[in-house]
Amino acid sequence: MTNDSGKKQNYEAGQWYKSIGLALSGGGYRAAAFHLGALDYLEHIGLQDKICKISTVSGGTFTGVKYALSQVEGQTFPEFFSEYYYFLNNTDLLRLGLEKLAENRFGGKVERKDMITAMAQVYAETFLQKADGAPYLFGDILNSNIALGDTVFNATEFRHGLAFRFQRRTNPKAFIGNYKIRINKNDAAKIRMADIVAASSCFPGGFEPMAFPDDFVWPEGHVPETLRQQFVNGPIALMDGGVYDNQGLQSLLLADVRNSSFDNEDLSMFIISDVDQQSADLYRYPKRDKNRKGLTLNTLAGLSIVFIVLLTISLSMLLINLFVQGFSWYNFFLFVLPAGLVAVATYALLWLRGRIVEELDKIPMIGRAAWKDIKHLSVDEIEDMISLRIGSLFAMAGSVFMKRVRGLVYGLVYGDFRAPINKILDEMYGLRRISNLIDHLKTGRKFNEELLRAGVPEPSAELQRITDIAANMKTTLWFDKPDQLQSLVASGQATLCYNLMKFIVRNFGEDPEQFPDDARVFWERLNEDWQTFNETPLSLVEKRLDEAL
């Protein structure tokens, strides 16, 4: 078999699956459940113990952290699957986060009280809590002897605009943080896994940035002295790892490059599990109702003056009546209480007018003189302007910018550059890459032609229906419908089966009779599973759940 550059790929027996690097993208619960399915299929097919490097972002960090901790605890894969599946299915993170935000006692754990720190506390008290009630620490992974050699949980730090990696590396030259900010291992070992997950998944617009180290909860009840000295000029802001690389792929490539120079071992496979929602329309321009008419700002300003005058007259009349009739409990409710309410309303209107004047003063070069032009705008027009700004900002951060970053990073393994760089990159990664995209089996997606020539049937209508449910789910921390979790896990399983078959034909050709013995056995197993997924897409999920009962 030849790749696009014409170079032969020769694998010794068993070498093509010897070591696997796994990148788990962001995408909320959609990502967490889809990646669980991908992990489950690797275990089902006998490749789970070949995973030696894992890099995660945001929703993928939920699954990656829980998987790494299951190895720390010595859990079997079915035990990990059932426990984590139960958590995803039965835990209302948003409700728990809001409840935690409202708790007075929560305010003493960190200096700042907001939604992301509340969510971190929820993580520490749910799926990242040990049997004795203590939270898992990064040291539980850093100092373990698990077979998973490299783990990287990615965040983004906003001081320098760089990736910030909470990582356990086999290569001693790798460090925690980035080349601008490095955290020593002793301090890193004290970080709660809950805070790492929160930092990796606090996406812009949904959550506030996490301040490191101030917003993190430390075992001693305060920031370690070495860290306090290191951040004497103030903390750094950590946000979703997807801001820098939503697939976690760059960290995986760095691990491969570093380790190949360290121990002369290259990864046999790069599996990129990615739930990015492909769309031809990243931002739909909202329709405007040209017939909408509303009060202008000038009219509202005039009405506010009228209301202030009327309220002032009302307040004066109430006070005069109180003075004439004298105080009594009857007059308290008749004059005093209404007078207080009128006074508050008057103050509120005066305060609002004052704030508007202050904001006008901030307009560059023009200041409050801009009022003569702005006052002719209607409230509806102002509303449209604000809505468009906010909507386009979210589209830029959540779709346009993410797509650009994704394209740049994917270019490293797909050779999306001009020759001769294209040829070099394709030879480095072309035959080792497996992109496991959530929409690969979606209705309307073109099926791989090499598999068709090898006799593999296209996905059934039922399998595509399950994939559609998974691929169309929004990025949330909850499930809107009862069938979403099962569909996502099943989609992760079936899609990886499909992409492993693509990997085989890419490396060994389209004639199974010409495959090496180990590849042919593997191919036959994949084909059996593909047939099962086509007939009953949820069968492997249901089997796992039955095993847990």
The pLDDT value given to residue 235: 95
- The DSSP bridge partners found for residue 155 are 164, 240
pLDDT digit string (tens) for 139-168? Answer: 999 999 998 889 999 999 999 988 999 999
Residues 273, 34 contacting (CB under 8 angstroms): yes
Amino acid 379: pLDDT: 79
**The predicted structure's pLDDT at residue 426:** 53
CA 468 to chain centre: 20
3-state secondary structure of 52: strand
Half-sphere exposure of 98 (CA within 13 A, CB side): 4
At 166, phi and psi to the nearest 5? -90, 100
Q: What's the pLDDT at 406?
A: 60
Q: By three-state DSSP, how is residue 148 classified? A: coil
Q: What is the pTM of this model?
A: 0.82
DSSP-assigned letter for residue 269: E
Taking only Cα atoms into account, the Rg of the chain, rounded to an integer number of angstroms, comes to 29
- What is d(CA 285, CA 359) in angstroms, rounded to the nearest whole number? 28
Give all strands (DSSP E) within 121-242, no chain letters.
150-157, 162-168, 176-177, 182-183, 210-212, 236-240
Helices (H), 264-378: 297-325, 329-331, 337-361, 371-374
| Backbone region of residue 175 per phi and psi (left: phi > 0; alpha: psi in -120 to 50; beta: other values) | beta
Q: How far apart are CA 376 and CA 387, in angstroms?
A: 19
* CA gap 92, 122 in Å, rounded: 10
Amino acid 177: pLDDT? 95
Q: How far is CA 246 from CA 85, 273, 364, in A?
A: 23, 11, 37
Q: In this structure, which amino acid lies at residue 507?
A: N
As given in the structure block, the two tokens for residue 322 are 């109180």
Tell me whether strands 51-57 and 20-24 are parallel, antiparallel or unpaired: parallel
How far apart are the C-alpha atoms of 549 and 544, rounded to whole Å? Answer: 9
Amino acid 213: pLDDT = 96
Using the Cα atoms of residue 251, residue 252, residue 255 and residue 261 in order, give the sign of their dihedral: negative
Q: CB of 513 within 8 A of CB of 519?
A: no
Query: By the 8 A CB rule, do 123 and 197 touch?
Result: yes
What pLDDT is recorded for position 285?
Answer: 62
Q: How far apart are CA 100 and CA 117, in angstroms?
A: 9
Q: What is the spatial distance between Cα 75 and Cα 80, in angstroms, rounded to a whole number? A: 6
**Lookup: tokens for 418:** 């001009």
Q: Which residues pair with 436 in a beta bridge?
A: 273
What whole-number distance in Å separates Cα of residue 12 and Cα of residue 292?
71
Q: Please give the Cα distance from 90 to 67 (Å, whole number).
A: 18
Residue 237: its pLDDT value, please?
94
The two beta strands, 182-183 and 433-437, are unpaired
Q: Are 197 and 61 in contact (CB under 8 A)?
A: yes
Question: Which parts of the chain have pLDDT scores under 70?
Answer: 1-14, 104-111, 259-265, 278-293, 388-430
